[in-house]
Amino acid sequence: MSSRLLSGRYELLEKIGDGGMAVVYKGKDRLLNRFIAIKILRPEFTKDATFVENFKRESQAAAGLTHPNIVGVYDVGREGNINYIVMELIEGRTLNAIIEDEAPMDYKKVIDISKQVASALRIAHKNKIIHRDVKPHNIMITNDGVVKLADFGIARAVNDATLSTGSKIVGSVHYFSPEQARGNYVDERSDIYSLGIVMYEMLTGQVPFDGENPVTVALKHINEEIRPPSELVDGIPPALERCVMKATNKYQTNRYSSADELIEELDNISFVTNVAGTEIFAATDVIEKRNKRKAELEAAREEEEPKKKKKKTARDKRLTALIIILVVLLAIFAGWFIAWRMGVFSSTKPAPDFLDKTIDEAQAIAEEEGFILKQGKDIYSNDYTENRICLQDPAPGAEAPKGGTITVNVSKGSKEGMVPNVVGMQRDEVEDFLAQYGYVLGNVKVETSPEDEGKVLEQDPVAGSPLDKESKVNIVVSDGKGTEKGTVPSVTNLSLKEAKKAIQSAGFEVGRVDYDWSNSVDKGYVMYQQYQANSLLDKGTSIDIQVSSGPEPAPVVPETPATETPEAVTPAEGVTPEQPAEGN
């Protein structure tokens, strides 16, 4: 197959990977004269038209992701019955292979790899793309130690087929979030859960849940608690263990709300383990030596009282001096920490977002943020209109040297014969815009959405598709009447206070709170919620809950005098479930 050409351009050289969904080849782009990786969809998936369309659409979306920690997607195409993706060729190893050789891995290396993966997820999530299949097999480490997250845009298509196509791609069930295992709604926090499982495996050398078949593993994700990694491996910093346990919490609302929050936590852990470990712990050693010396002095009894008093005075002076030194060290440490958090010592800062801005607008932002703006070549873009910035390096949010140069490329509009992007435009702008590229506005469908009225939500064909001139492009626009949806949190078995906080944090209102007896749920804890957890619901909706009042008390039996005829005994009237104090 080495002589096979795809689209007359991509030469297949050798097979380098074989997965459940696709086969990967090393190839060469004859047009640009560079080596590439070509992922070809397996034939059994090409029979499902919906799957192939999702595969194409999501991969095109992933092609817009530019970040040092993301494997670049260069092209998506089809030739005959072959569907393929052209990607950046990575010289290195998968994290899966590294775990097999090195796990349990050094916690500092775990933090470094996790931060880079989280940085990739941050960019994807800002672009409304959920990976859905974060696992060591999809994480590459280059020979220079740069982490690259792969298979963006493929995971969503795979997710649709996972439960129906059987055995070949269910291996990732070891990294599924509970909501994925249930088949429920997933969001950014689902990727964070999967990354938490990867961190667990790096630290311990094993995944938290395993079983004889995928269904067993999925049920464990839903029902069983994760064993803390410190019970398996010694030397894991407690803060890092807490980070892993929070990322893998079974409830989405209890995890890190974003990749940014996880990165900040990992930065703090790295700082505490690196800096505090050398200064504060050193101070602890001094204290231990001082106490040891003090014990030795007290044990050595001197016969002469003046000499004892003299030694005691000297000891007190040393103790006072040592305390002063410790106070000064702690003050220096506190000041250094505050300055570090304020960025005083940092030589980098996040790159501004110049995408979809004009050169003049970007120049003003660059000057304000302390960067130098450099204009590169003008390029074709199906996602950004003409004269708007469509690409930048470093990418938005990536760490860049203070005062450094950021190179931007300006869009020349869509290439002739390719459908331009109209998603996000207003309905009254679309017709004239399409006419500039030789296309005609087709059907206009209106759907209920919280977006502004008239805003284009979808288009068919999608941007970047080849299409003959004078063809129609259909669009879906918002009616502006929709309500933003939210994910209902799971509040059963939470205290009333915790349940109220979770409901409000998710964007809902706390409705009626009822109380009833329960022999299975502790007093003061929620035993019922009105709407099913992880379902979608209009934000602002009230959610009723029912709280346990504890076990039902036994009926009160009055004593009957021996001289009287006993009457029928009934439970005392008026006994109602007790309402616990709300502070529980």
Which of the residues are catalytic?
A: 133
Which two tokens mark 129? 């793309």
Which two tokens mark 550? 């504890």
* CA-wise closest residue to 404 among 446, 365, 348, 464: 348
The HSE-up count of residue 201 (CA atoms within 13 Å, CB side) is 24
Residue whose token pair is 């263990």: 241
Burial (CB count <10 Å: 0-12, 13-18, 19+), residue 558:
exposed
Sign of the C-alpha dihedral computed for residues 321, 326, 332 and 334 taken in this order: negative
User: What are the Cα distances from residue 83, in Å, to 78, 226, 263?
Assistant: 4, 39, 36
First to last CA, the chain: 68
List the alpha helices (DSSP H) in 183-276: 188-204, 214-223, 238-247, 259-271
Helix (H, G, I), strand (E, B) or coil at 283: helix
Looking at residue 488, what DSSP letter applies?
A: P
Angstrom distance (rounded) from CA 414 to CA 488: 41
Cβ-contact 37, 89 below 8 angstroms: yes
Cβ-contact 379, 411 below 8 angstroms: yes
Cβ-contact 122, 263 below 8 angstroms: yes
For the chain, give the number of residues.
584
Mutual angle of helices 49-62 and 155-165, in 10-degree steps: 150
| Residue 320, number of CB atoms within 10 A of its CB | 10
Angstrom distance (rounded) from CA 274 to CA 278: 7
* CA-wise closest residue to 148 among 37, 53, 245, 237: 37
**What is the per-residue DSSP string for 19-63?**
-SSEEEEEEEETTTTEEEEEEEE-HHHHT-HHHHHHHHHHHHHHT
The HSE-up count of residue 484 (CA atoms within 13 Å, CB side) is 8
Pairing of strands 389-393, 405-410: antiparallel
